[in-house]
Structure 1
Amino acid sequence: MNKKILTILAGSMLFATTAFAAPITDLQQGETAIGYNHYDLSHSTSDDSFYLENAVSPQFILGVERNGYTDFHTTDIYAQYKLDPNVRLIAGNRDYSDDNSQFFYGIGANVNLSNNLDGYVSVTTSSSATEWQTGLNFKMNSQTSLNLGYKSLKRDYYPTYDGLGFGINYKF
C-alpha cells in the first residue's frame, strides 16, 4: 500500500508545479478539526490560514479555509473523498480577493510513519493555479497535532510563492 501511495504522489508532483494549504488530517466520521498554519513564503510574503473540516461520513470530509497572504486572500470551500484510509480526492472552489473564483481538484495522501508521526502530501490544480504541499503531523495527544510543512503556489502571471511553515490543529 505504501508503494502505491508513493507512486501516486511522485507522479502527481511531476505533473504539478505547486498544495492544498490545510494539511491532510485523518478524521473519522463525526470528527471535526480546526487549525491554524503560518508559512513564510518567497517574495517577502507570508500566509496565515485558518481551516475547519468535518468528516460527514466515513468517506467524505467537508471543509472551509481562509488563507491570508500578504497581498491578497483566498477562501476555499472543499470536499475530500477517501479512496482508502490513506488516499483522497480533493475538489472545491477557491475565491481570490484579487481575481475570480476557480474550481480546483487534486489528490492527497497521508501515511503513518510512527506512533505519533504522520507524513502527508497533496497537489491541487485549477485553470490558473497549481499548489502542492508536503509535511509532517506530530500528534501531541489524541486531539492536538503540530504541523511542519512546505507549500508552493503558482498562479498564472504571478511568481511562485513557496516556503516552510508550521501549524497546529485540534480535533473534537
Structure 2
Amino acid sequence: MDNISTRKWSEIRNLAVVTLTDGKKVGTVEDFYFDPQTNSVRALLIKTGVFGHQVLLVSSIHAFGQDAITASGDNALIKEKNDAQLSTMPLGQALLTYKVMSEGGSVVGTIGNVLFDLSTPGVLRVAAFEMAAGLRERISGHYPTFEAQRVIQYGQDVMVIPDAIALELTK
C-alpha cells in the first residue's frame, strides 16, 4: 500500500507545519480529527507551543512534504471551537489502541498505524490500517494491512471487519 500518494501516520506525526505566506513554522502535527462515517480527516491538531494547540483544516493544506506540511496562509490555523464539526469527531490517535475484531467475534489484533491517501489536494482520506507488529512482523518487516473501506463498524475501542478479511490478516 505504500506509494507516493500514501503516507503512514507515523511519518506525518511530528512534522512541522510551515505557512507559505511567510515561511514561518507555526507548529508540529500532534493528532488528527477522524470522521468514521467517511473515513476522512477533517483537520490536523497542531501543537503551537508548550501548552498551545490549534487546528489546521485539511482544506488549508497546500502540500505534504518529506519534512514539513505547507499551509496556504498565515491564518490557516484556527481554534477548535471555531469549527462545530470537530467537537463531534474522535481524535485519530485513539485508533492506534483499537482492537480489530471479525464479524464472528474473534479479536485479530490491534491497529499499529494508519495509512493516508494524499492523492487529492485538500482531501485527506484514511486508506488503510496496518496491524501492530508481533515478532514475526518485526523480523520480516511486513505488517498486515486492510483497506479502511472494509471496516463494517467503528466502536468505542474496537473496529469490526468481515470474517474473510480477518482470516487473511491471520495467515
Is this a same-fold pair by TM over 0.5? no
- Structure label with greater radius of gyration: 2
Q: Tell me: higher relative CO, structure 1 or 2? Use CA pairs within 8 A at least 6 residues apart.
A: 1
| TM-score between the two structures when normalised by the length of structure 2 | 0.29
Q: Between Structure 1 and Structure 2, which shows a larger proportion of helix residues?
A: 2
